[in-house]
Structure 1
Amino acid sequence: MAKPSNCSPSPRLLVAALIAVLVFLSADRARVAEAVTCSATELSPCLSAITSSSAPSALCCSKLREQRPCLCGYIKNPSLQQYVTSPNAKRVARSCGVAYPTC
């Protein structure tokens, strides 16, 4: 007597697939984070928006999104902290659609 065909994947196969996806995603994030060179000077297009109430430029927003993985380091740097944690810096981040980090 032949066994009926079971088309549903086994729990082990599902767990293995989930682990593979998670490993792939974390490796992809690591590559993106490694590709960014943290340099506060990259945010110089944002300086006028941070030090005044002017709107951030498209270049500022682009650079802010690029430097997003570095923001916690800038926040912890005593030389940069006053600029990065200012209300205007948070406003610029919101305007650019960049979530302000919790470090």
Structure 2
Amino acid sequence: MKQRSNFVAIFLVLFLSELLVTEAVTCSVIELFPCAGAIMSSQPPSSACCIKLREQKPCLCGYLKNPSLKQYVNSPNAQRVAKTCGVSTPSC
């Protein structure tokens, strides 16, 4: 009986650890296309924008280091969109 409970415990640990594995984010600025309208104007971000922005959060430092993207990611409108979506601006 003790062997069976040990087996169940090991199985549960392995099963639960699989659930905690997260998918890696593929950094692609194209993924932020739903945010383009809100960043280029003063319109509020859509829910699709916020979802994509949250997904791409680990990539924001890379975008900030890219000279051709920095001006957009660091713009006041982009910061407004991020704040509205609940995404903190990273300090890289």
Which residue in the other structure is 1:100 paired with?
89
Which residue in the other structure is 1:73 paired with?
62
Which residue in the other structure is 1:56 paired with?
45
Structure 1, unaligned stretches of length 5 or more? 1-23
Q: TM-score, normalised by structure 1?
A: 0.68
Structure 2, unaligned stretches of length 5 or more? 1-16
Give 4+ residue runs of structure 1 displaced > 6 Å after superposition: none
Cα separation, 1, equivalents of 2:91 and 2:78: 14
Q: TM-score, normalised by structure 2?
A: 0.76
The structure whose Rg is larger is: 1
Tell me how many residue pairs correspond in the alignment. 74
- Residue among 9, 31, 35 paired with 1:46: 35
Secondary structure of 1:80's match?
helix
Which residue in the other structure is 2:11 paired with?
none
Cα separation, 2, equivalents of 1:78 and 1:41: 16
Cα separation, 2, equivalents of 1:62 and 1:41: 14
Per-residue deviation at 1:44?
A: 0.4
Cα separation, 2, equivalents of 1:76 and 1:35: 20
Secondary structure of 2:67's match?
coil
Instruction: Tell me the amino acid that sits aligned with residue 76 of structure 1.
Output: K
